[in-house]
Amino acid sequence: MAARRGDVTVRDALDFRGQVVLVTGAGGGIGAAVAQGFGSCGAHVVVHYNSNAEGAEKVAGAVREAGGTASTAPADLTRPAAASDLVDAVVAEHGRLDVLVNNAGDMVLRVPVAEMSDEDYARVLDVNLTSAFATSRRAIPVMQRQGGGAIVNVTSVAARNGGGGRSVVYATAKGAVSTFTRGLAKELARDGIRVNAVAPGIITTPIHDRHTPPELLEQLVGGIPMGRAGTPDECVGAVLFLASPVLSGYVTGQVIEVNGGQLTP
């Protein structure tokens, strides 16, 4: 028998049929897992990507196999106009936007602050912070007209611990995403729009393949009480929980840590 919350089963609480969910940066990693998670709950998932069209198409196929429907949408979210156009395109095609998952982000590079160029500094902020700001800004009036919605931002354990080595600006950007989450939640609470975030720890995603040397990764994992890195699938439950108005209808402005005990509140 399914667990119950009042007169609603948890299975019903995770029923996203008829809802449109936009997951940014969903061509791989955590975004791909989240997209498939919403697919398994019956949602129509818009799989956003920047350059990985092939990966996005594979994720869209996986969403359909999981039981949902899917479409793909390209956009360079470091450009605010492109972020606005992305949301407009979703609404034009589907008529609504119920859940926005701001997952797009990247470390870009590991470099000491003293050696970071202005261009790389701006790039790190744009891909991690500007993308979430610009996409949310355009989604807000859509959700206000609908009478509510949910925004789930993906931040990082780096937002609280300062990063895992030569990643100060990335950690700073993610710290800003966490603060943006808390402030926006207060601003939109009376509109029925809940804003929360998930803060993954060390997760086995392509970001570490690109930017974390094996010896540094081993060191970081060594500090995790559970003794291992997490997987993208282990981030999905927290996102679905925060997107569900039944399971988390009185939850807003919160950051859920998913880090194996690496950092606790």
Does the annotation count 250 as an active-site position? no
Spatial separation of the C-alpha atoms in residues 174 and 255, rounded to whole Å: 12
Q: What are the tokens at 37?
A: 């998670």
- Give percent helix, percent strand, percent coil of the chain, each to the nearest 5: 50, 15, 35
Q: Which of 49, 121, 170, 250 is catalytic?
A: 170
Distance (Å, whole) CA 198 – CA 206: 18
Q: How far apart are CA 12 and CA 69, in angstroms?
A: 18
Concatenate the DSSP letters of all residues of 44-55 into one string. EEEEEESS-HHH
Contact 82/90 with Cβ under 8 angstroms? no
| Residue length of the chain | 265
Point out the residues that are catalytic: 170
